[in-house]
Amino acid sequence: MILIVDDDKAIRQSLALVLKRKGYETALAGNPDEALGMLRKHKFRLVIMDMNYSLSTTGEEGIHLLRQTKIFQPDTPVILITAWGSIELAVEGMRFGAFDFITKPWNNHLLLQRIETALSLSSPATDSDRNPADFDRCGLIGENPRVKELLKTVERIAPTDAPVLVLGENGTGKELIANAIHKNSRRKNAPFVMVNLGGISTSLFESEMFGHSKGAYTGAVSERKGRFELADKGTIFLDEIGDLTQDCQVKLLRVLQQHTFERLGESRTRKTDIRAICATNADLPAMVREHTFREDLFYRINLITLRIPPLRERRDDIPLLTRSFMESASRSHGIRCPEISHEALGYLSRLPYPGNVRQLRNMVERAVLMCAGGILEKCDFEADGNIQDVSATDLKGSLEGATLEDLEAAAIAEAVRKYDGNLSRVAAALGITRQSLYRKIEKHGIDIS
Ligand SMILES: Nc1ncnc2c1ncn2[C@@H]1O[C@H](COP(=O)(O)OP(=O)(O)OP(=O)(O)O)[C@@H](O)[C@H]1O
Ligand SMILES: [Mg+2]
């Protein structure tokens, strides 16, 4: 049974009708008191509640009702309804434990999607729901308990339309995870559209994301579909979302909230049916606290947050990853797969990896090419020389008791020295992007002169 709380009778009834058509049973309450009475007596699967009641427009009654609901039925998901203009109320509600929010006016398709997501994520997962053979790992390797836990979550949430935020350092596999979510979803046969928001300037953002009509601006010689239109029925992967300017954040919020947009130069509002997966290596919660990332957008994208551990925190996976990269590299270059010595594996297992899995992959691929078939020894990787073994002698003294941050700084400084300050080569050697290298150099105050 789903409880609908709204003081507007017309809204209550139309919601009830939409839900009934989909086979859900509903109960209706016209004010918070009535709702509380029902919440005391019955267990609901879901509560949909308006934030504003006739007494005031501050939303206090809505927040109060939400808190009471969470006391009586802590496990029942609550979806809030607010007007687009008072979205900050929804944000406050999310802080008090609401599951999701929709803004008026809504479209029924989107509303039903959100309801289904809430119901499927809040019902306990049973093993009988899952057939492990149906899950496609999409090349994701890892047996570390945290990675396994992560994959279990991916398997559970992939079939829903829940927006997912993937957090992790450079090269940890964020894109791979996003792809795995899409491939295991109902949308797998529709497009998976990737957008690197870090690479899109504010001025290009709208035409890139929403498209434009012919002549919308100088140079718009023909009409063009934007990424949100291309991703219709599929998944849109918004990478580097932490790099978005405030202006673009507002524009993105609207399309993610309402699933509607207009092409540049057109007034017609278009609909798109998308599932959004966002990723970043930035500390988004900290950015929200510092007001550089909008809190409403944050709640819109992070219904599910997946944190990928850095490679140095799952070193037990290094041998497995190494072997797999050795095989794939030899296959793609058409050479015989080499062996690897115990000592070399041990060496690889101790490196600091500021560039995470991508860095390991680059190192292994280079070594496979150089060695052409024999046995990979520790020296084949040392020759690579871009980073120092955690226990390497020249770092050892100074790094006694060092934090991971110190290790990262030391590895970068070492690579800068080795490549004479050629930052493109440093970035390539460490397996990180130049942008991210700049950020790290600035963060650690490394001298590159
Ligand atoms: N668990 C894994 N198993 C196999 N390969 C992996 C795994 N994680 C990452 N990789 C490989 O490491 C490389 C980097 O992965 P990916 O591009 O997904 O990382 P990312 O987190 O998106 O990086 P960035 O922050 O730089 O965008 C890719 O070549 C990917 O195939
Ligand atoms: Mg990426």
Tell me the mean pLDDT in the region 365-380. Answer: 85
Ligand 1 atom 28 nearest Cα: 358
C-alpha of residue 76 to centroid of ligand 2, in Å: 35
The pLDDT, as a whole number, for residue 394 is: 39
Query: In 3D, which of 329, 221, 206, 222 has the Cα closest to residue 261?
Result: 206
CATH number of 2-122: 3.40.50.2300
**Closest ligand (CA of 175):** 1
pLDDT of 330 higher than 60: yes
Give the pLDDT of residue 79.
95
pLDDT of residue 384: 60
Q: Relative to the alpha carbon of 324, which ligand is closest?
A: 1
Q: How far is the CA of 409 from the centre of ligand 1 (A)?
A: 22
Could you tell me the pLDDT band of residue 383, with boundaries at 50, 70 and 90? low
Which protein residue's CA is at the shortest distance from atom 29 of ligand 1?
A: 358
The sign one gets for the Cα dihedral 49, 51, 56, 61 is positive
Token look-up 């790290």 returns 440
Distance 76 CA to ligand 1 centre (A): 36
- State the CATH architecture for 312-444: Orthogonal Bundle (1.10)
pLDDT at 372: 66
* pLDDT reading at 236 higher than 90: yes
Q: How far is the CA of 278 from the centre of ligand 2 (A)?
A: 10
Give residue 269 CA to ligand 1 midpoint distance, Å: 37
- Among 25-34, 249-258, 383-392, 405-414, the minimum mean pLDDT is found in 383-392
Mean pLDDT (whole number) for 333-352: 92
DSSP notation for 14-48: HHHHHHHHTT--EEEESSHHHHHHHHHH---SEEE
Question: Beta partners for 195?
Answer: 238
Please report the pLDDT score of residue 393 as a whole number. Answer: 36
CB of 232 closer than 8 Å to CB of 109: no
CA–centroid distance, 257 to ligand 1, in Å, is: 29
Number of the ligand 1 atom closest to the C-alpha atom of 239:
27
pLDDT at 411 > cutoff 90:
no
Q: Do the domains 2-122 and 143-309 sit in the same CATH topology, yes or no? A: yes
Residue 128 scores a pLDDT above 60 = no
Mean predicted confidence (pLDDT) in 330-341: 90
Looking at mean pLDDT, say which of 251-255, 335-339, 375-379 comes out highest.
251-255
Q: Where are the chain's structural domains?
A: 2-122, 143-309, 312-444
Q: Which two tokens stand for residue 209?
A: 């994301």
- Nearest ligand, measured from the Cα of 176: 1
Mean pLDDT check: name the lowest of 25-39, 50-64, 181-195, 236-250: 50-64
The SS3 of residue 393 is helix
How much is the mean pLDDT over the chain?
Answer: 88
Share of the chain above pLDDT 70, in %: 92
When pLDDT is averaged across residues 316-334 and rounded to a whole number, the result is 94
Task: Tell me the pLDDT band of 129, cut-offs 50, 70 and 90.
Answer: low
In the structure, ligand 2 is a single-atom ion and the residues with CB under 5 Å from it are: 174-175
Of 52-66, 247-261, 316-330, least confident by mean pLDDT is 52-66
Using the mean position of ligand 1's atoms as its centre, give its distance from the Cα of residue 45 in Å. Answer: 38
Residue from 136, 174, 317, 357 to probe ligand 1 pocket by mutation (most atoms less than 8 Å from CB): 357
What does the pLDDT read at residue 398? 46
Q: Indicate the pLDDT class of residue 396, thresholds 50, 70 and 90.
A: very low
How high is the pLDDT of residue 268?
Answer: 95
Record the tokens describing residue 391, joined without a space: 């226990």
Question: Which residues 6+ apart lie within 8 Å of 63 measured at CB?
Answer: 51, 89, 92, 93, 96
Pick the atom of ligand 1 nearest to 142's CA: 1
Q: Ligand 2 centre from 169 Cα, in Å? A: 9
pLDDT at 281 over 70: yes
Quick one: which atom of ligand 1 is closest to the CA of 177? 18
Best of 175, 237, 328, 432 for a ligand 1 pocket test (most atoms within 8 Å of beta carbon)? 175
Ligand 1 proximal residues by C-beta, below 6 Å: 139-142, 168, 170-176, 281, 321, 357-358, 361, 433
Which pLDDT band, with edges at 50, 70 and 90, does 316 fall under? Answer: very high
Choice from 358, 359, 430 to test ligand 1 binding pocket (greatest atom count within 8 A of CB): 358
CATH superfamily of 143-309: P-loop containing nucleotide triphosphate hydrolases (3.40.50.300)
At 179-204, the pLDDT tens digits run 999 999 999 999 999 999 987 888 88
Which ligand neighbours the alpha carbon of 172 most closely?
Answer: 1
- The bound ligand whose nearest atom lies closest to the alpha carbon of 171 is 1
Q: Which atom of ligand 1 is nearest to the CA of 433?
A: 26
* 390-409 mean pLDDT: 55
Q: Distance from the CA of 192 to the center of ligand 2, in angstroms? A: 14
Tell me, in angstroms, the distance from the centre of ligand 1 to residue 151's CA: 14
The span from the CA of 243 to the CA of 221, in Å, is 29
Q: How confident is the model at residue 392 (pLDDT cuts 50, 70, 90)?
A: very low
Token reading at 159: 């079939």
Percent of the chain at pLDDT exceeding 90? 62
- Ligand 1 atom closest to the CA of 317, numbered from 1: 1
* pLDDT number for residue 189: 97
Q: What distance in angstroms lies between residue 171's CA and the mean position of ligand 2's atoms?
A: 7
The residue with greater pLDDT, 336 or 447, is: 336
Nearest residue to 90 via CA among 99, 104, 80 = 80
Residue 301 in contact with residue 165, Cβ under 8 Å?
Answer: yes
What SS3 class is residue 277? strand
The pLDDT assigned to 125 comes to: 66
Instruction: Give the mutation target among 144, 146, 169, 176 for probing the ligand 1 site: most ligand atoms within 8 A of CB.
Output: 176
Least confident span in 163-172, 278-287, 311-320, 394-403 = 394-403
Can you point out the beta strands (E) in 10-99? Answer: 26-29, 46-50, 78-83
